[in-house]
Structure 1
Amino acid sequence: GDYIGQGKEWFYQPTDGRFSIRRNFDKGVNFNFSNFGHSGSQRSIWWNAEFAAPFEQQLLPGLYEGATRFPFQSSNNPGFSFTGNGRGCNRSGSRFEVLEIGYDDAGVVSSFDAIFAQYCENVSATATPAIFGRVRYNAGAVTTNDDAASVPEPSMLMGLIALSFFGRNIGKR
């Protein structure tokens, strides 16, 4: 498996720890999960995902190809970084698709759903194992839309899946 995920499958929900989402300085999204201080935790776990559109544009639904490591991407490239449990990439090649994003009147992220693929230390899909994942936050029901499968479904799913905090039952894609 890849360096960050160690070839394992991970799934988290609100009872496992704390999810947070906020805008990052590139008008993108920072999504974080940790179990720090969570009762019953055997060991510390944390994951972080950063998403940014090119040219510091507001992140909108769509496919973002050619992403490089956030926050070091050139202005004309999207930025992306997925790190966790003390592991990250020095450089990376990624692609991600924002399936849903909502903002409230103050510009705060109110919902988010994205899938991603990240290749550490090399942008070649043939040279480096990838980490694949999905992050969801207060997102609507999952649909089986073949158009949304631009980032390939992996045989191993790695990511953060936040079930809605408002009681909606959200399943895996």
Structure 2
Amino acid sequence: MALTCFSAVASQNIVILSGTPGDYISQGKTNVYSDIQLLSTNKNGVSFTFSNEKEEMMSADFIAPGHQMLQKGVYDFASRFPFQEDFQPGMNISGAGRGCNQLGGKYIVRDVHYDTNGNLKDLAVDFIQYCENRTAYLTGTLRYNSLEPIYFLEK
């Protein structure tokens, strides 16, 4: 697996999605989203919505396994949220009328901080998602109030 890295010069809110030809969610394209809204933070995960100038509304969910708090680390063998087994991490990147019935993937939480009430302060996560057991995939990065450099996971 290879990594591509870009530096951050200021705290940023950005999502970049890039899919290979045949990926259903991205339609094989790269899109940048800067209008990011945190929908919810619970004890083991986060949910976001985001859009771009084309007004494509997308969403992203990242859930830690076993009711653990989402923390820095690698989350392999992720399955579709909210249908994952309790021992599995969950994820789901969807939107613009497109979603996966079944998905697999992984994500890396590079940085995450919460306030004293458990509310998310910042998050940096990079991910790869496969729909319907296809070889095509979606890779992306999400930065929420984060200074963490941008990485792209590659197969």
What TM bracket, shorter-length normalisation?
0.7 to 0.9
Kindly provide the CA deviation profile for residues 10-68 of structure 1, in whole angstroms up to 9, marking residues without a partner as x.
1122xxxx311244556201121036xxxxx5x53111110011101110010000000
Q: Residue 87 of structure 2: SS of its match in structure 1?
A: coil
Q: Which has the higher contact order (CA 8 A, sep 6+)?
A: 2
Kindly provide the CA deviation profile for residues 68-104 of structure 1, in whole angstroms up to 9, marking residues without a partner as x.
0000000000001000111000010010000011111
Question: What's the counterpart of residue 29 of structure 1?
Answer: 46
Residue 135 of structure 2 is aligned to residue 128 of structure 1 = yes
TM-score normalised according to structure 2 size: 0.78
Structure 1 segment 89-168 matched on structure 2, within 5 A = 89-122=100-133, 127-142=134-149, 152-153=153-154
Structure 2 unaligned spans of 5+:
1-20
Amino acid in structure 2 at the alignment position of 1:140: L
Residue 37 of structure 2 is aligned to residue 20 of structure 1 = yes
Indicate if the aligned counterparts of 1:22 and 1:109 stay in contact, CA closer than 8 A: no
Question: What's the counterpart of residue 55 of structure 1?
Answer: 66
Runs of 4+ in 1 over 6 A off after TM superposition: none
TM-score normalised according to structure 1 size: 0.71
Q: CA RMSD in A?
A: 2.0
Question: What's the counterpart of residue 6 of structure 1?
Answer: 27
Indicate if the aligned counterparts of 2:140 and 2:153 stay in contact, CA closer than 8 A: no
Amino acid in structure 1 at the alignment position of 2:63: A
Residue 100 of structure 2 is aligned to residue 83 of structure 1 = no
Q: Residue 86 of structure 1: SS of its match in structure 2?
A: coil
**What number of residue pairs does the alignment pair up?**
134
Give the Cα–Cα distance (whole angstroms) in 1 for the partners of residues 102 and 43 of structure 2.
18
Q: Alignment identity in percent? A: 39
Structure 1 unaligned spans of 5+:
36-40, 144-148, 155-173
Would you tell me which structure has more strand in proportion to its own residues? Answer: 2
